[in-house]
Amino acid sequence: MHDVVIRGGTVVDGTGAPARTADVAIDGGVISEVGRCGPGRREVDAHGLLVTPGFVDIHTHYDAQATWDPYLTPSSWHGVTTVVMGSCGVGFAPAAPDRHGWLIGLMEGVEDIPGSALTEGIRWGWESFPEYLDALAAMPRARDVGAQVPHGALRAYVMGERGANNDPATPDDVARMAALVQEALEAGALGFSTSRTLLHKSIDGVPVPGTFASEDELFGIARAMARAGHGVFQVASEHARVPEEIAWMRRLALETGLPVTFNLSQVDQAPDLWRKGLALLEAARADGARLRAQAAGRAIGILMTLDGTAHPLVPFASYQALAGLPLAERVRRMADPAWRAHLLQETPLALGPFETFIARSFQRMFLTDPVTGAVDYEPTAAQSVAAVAAARGKAPLEVALDALLAGGGTGFLYFPLFNYAEGSLDLLHEMHTNPATLMGLSDAGAHCGAICDGGMPTFMLTHWARDRARGPRLALEHVVRRQTRDTAEAFGLLDRGLLAPGYRADVNVIDFDRLALAAPVLARDLPAGGRRLLQKATGYVATLLAGEVTHEHDAPTGALPGALLRGPQAAPAPLAAGAAFATA
């Protein structure tokens, strides 16, 4: 008698092998059998349903939320069973007692998480990174979490104001940072992250500490990681400088033997630059560098709404005069024909180049479904605000205004920022069929007022494996492997991501035909009433973590079997000595 049997499902096991009909038996929190299995104390009827490993998201920002939210929403709504946080060089440990407010401002500026929510929600109880891990380990949760050491917090802890202001690190500074990183890895950190993009700035507009770090600093930290014996070196690179950055990342990976991962995206200013980056990446890997690029599953896009971070009314004085009012009052005032007429004749205020691009590029703003609010994540040019305005004989700003005022001011526009210079997702098909890349960059838990990509696993299944009509799809088995075994291996989590005997019983049972993303909404459910964009899903019949059903029919059960992951996790005994699933 097994503990649990998932009966008669279509098993996509995470290896990339063809789907097959089989039972999955679970005992003691691990998979004991896949095939024709005997009875279980609990049986899950999966006939006609998809059975996959739980999804592993390796690029999230739950560093604060993990101290108060056991479910790590929205990821848990989308079949994610393991998350890795501490990305992009920002986080909350190590943290000197007088630096809490500064760390909150850094995270608020870089990742658009409301500072009031962080101030009220974080349950401080640590200074060192090992103490932070202990605090995470003490909290019951419904998901497994792993953490990376963030360069920004580390630099400010060691160097104080010099570190926060991006002053050069002295040899003593580097030695101290390296020692703390080694200590953190030995306590269970999964890696180290740094940011080198000028898009990442604190709430005061200062680049993240480490943005301009010298090679001496970066290599000094990496050598300490090598001494610790494990750890991923994660880089948020400047999009336009990826080819240049690959040069030093290649040398670092070859010298230390560490796995190094960085972001790869298409930018409008140089739409073919990603191809050069990919070619250099392939050459580095051919030379033996353990270098991988993280690629998003869709355009990294902004959801524009009146209560969000960015929308096309921001540069107008007449809107700014209303911006501090409650939404209902703003909508009432904006319904006045005289106000509208004034807005349409008004000259926009001067913003920075990036802000102007976001607020005024109507050809890159796309309407959502007027009835359901659903977002088309691969829209055509005809769906743009500019094209619709031309067809209707209206000004683009007026079309955008009508879209934002829909639903009492809760309407959305979609602005694909990266990966959409050519008006399709064909480039991502190429990225996701290249073994040099990893599924990543969901940024789950972050960019609360602008981006809502924590549901990326659901999008990968629905769009790429089932619904895409504007180009080739990806095989279902490939999509599952990309966000289970591949991502687990990338961080040394060799005990999960496969449906095979001995592996962790992290499992999704999915009604694939019915699987769907809900329309996004802007909620105020963070501590202190903080805002965030959310997107739920329907079709997750059950999600199991270590053999316990944590979600059933798209709702939590209350089970909290999750834990902190302390360092790499060994493969089951039959595979531990072999190379069948060695980390790429």
47-88 pLDDT, tens digit per residue, is 999 999 999 999 999 999 999 999 999 999 999 999 999 999
Q: Tell me 14's DSSP state.
A: S
Provide the residue count of the chain: 584
Stretch 290-316: mean pLDDT: 97
- Can you give the pLDDT at residue 575? 46
Q: Provide the pLDDT confidence category of residue 412 given band limits of 50, 70 and 90.
A: very high
Cβ neighbours for 477, distance < 8 A, ≥ 6 positions apart: 12, 16, 17, 18, 19
CB 111 within 8 A of CB 88: yes
**Mean pLDDT of all residues in 510-523:** 97
583 pLDDT higher than 90: no
DSSP percent split of the chain into helix, strand, coil, nearest 5: 35, 20, 40
Mean pLDDT of 412-429: 98
Residue 190 has pLDDT above 60, yes or no: yes
Q: What does the DSSP 8-state code read for residue 39?
A: -
Can the peptide bond before residue 74 be classed as cis, meaning omega within 30 degrees of 0? yes
Q: Tell me what the pLDDT averaged over the chain comes to.
A: 96
C-alpha to C-alpha distance for 176 and 220, rounded to whole angstroms: 10
pTM of the predicted protein model: 0.96
SS3 assignment, position 508? strand
**Is the pLDDT reported for residue 577 higher than 80?**
no
Model confidence at 265: pLDDT above 80: yes
Contact between 417 and 239 under an 8 Å Cβ cutoff? The reply is no
- Residue-wise pLDDT for 547-560, tens only, equals 999 999 999 999 99
Q: Distance between CA atoms of 183 and 366, rounded to whole angstroms?
A: 48
**C-alpha to C-alpha distance for 47 and 115, rounded to whole angstroms:** 46
d(CA 500, CA 477): 15
Q: Tell me, what DSSP letter sits at residue 16? A: S
CB 110 within 8 Å of CB 88: yes
User: In degrees, to the nearest 5, what angle opens at C-alpha 292 toward C-alphas 59 and 546?
Assistant: 45
What distance in Å separates the CA atoms of residue 415 and residue 375, rounded to the nearest whole number?
Answer: 10
User: Does 584 score more than 50 pLDDT?
Assistant: no
> Hey, is 283 helix, strand or coil?
helix
Can you give the pLDDT at residue 240?
A: 86
For 103-138, what is each residue's pLDDT tens digit?
A: 999 999 999 999 999 999 998 999 999 999 999 999
pLDDT for res 35: 97
Closest CA to 487 of 351, 375, 347, 581: 581
For 407-429, what is the mean pLDDT? 97
383, 367 contact by CB (below 8 A): yes
Give residues with Cβ within 8 angstroms of 466, minimum separation 6.
Answer: 473, 476, 512, 515
- The amino acid occupying position 559 is A
Would you give the end-to-end CA distance of the chain in angstroms?
37
Question: Residue 210: pLDDT above 70?
Answer: yes
Q: What is the pLDDT of residue 573?
A: 84
As given in the structure block, the two tokens for residue 505 are 């019983």
Residue 580 has pLDDT above 90, yes or no: no
Work out the average pLDDT over 209-237: 98
Phi, psi angle pair for 122, to nearest 5°: -65, 130
Kindly tell me if the per-residue pLDDT of 581 is higher than 80.
Answer: no
What percentage of residues in the chain have a pLDDT greater than 70? 98
Q: Does residue 582 have a pLDDT over 60? A: no
Helix (H) or strand (E) segment spanning residue 110: helix 100-111
3-state secondary structure of 299: coil
Query: On the CB side of 221, how many CA atoms lie within 13 Å of its CA?
Result: 31
**Tell me, what's the pLDDT at 220?**
98
Over residues 124-182, the pLDDT tens digits come to 999 999 999 999 999 999 999 999 999 999 999 999 999 999 999 999 999 999 999 99
Determine contact, residues 481/15, Cβ cutoff 8 Å.
yes
Give the pLDDT score at 576. 47
Residues 318, 346 contacting (CB under 8 angstroms): yes
Distance of CA 187 to the CA centre of its chain: 24
Q: Which two tokens stand for residue 281?
A: 């990446």
pLDDT digits (tens, 9 = 90+) for 310-321: 999 999 999 999
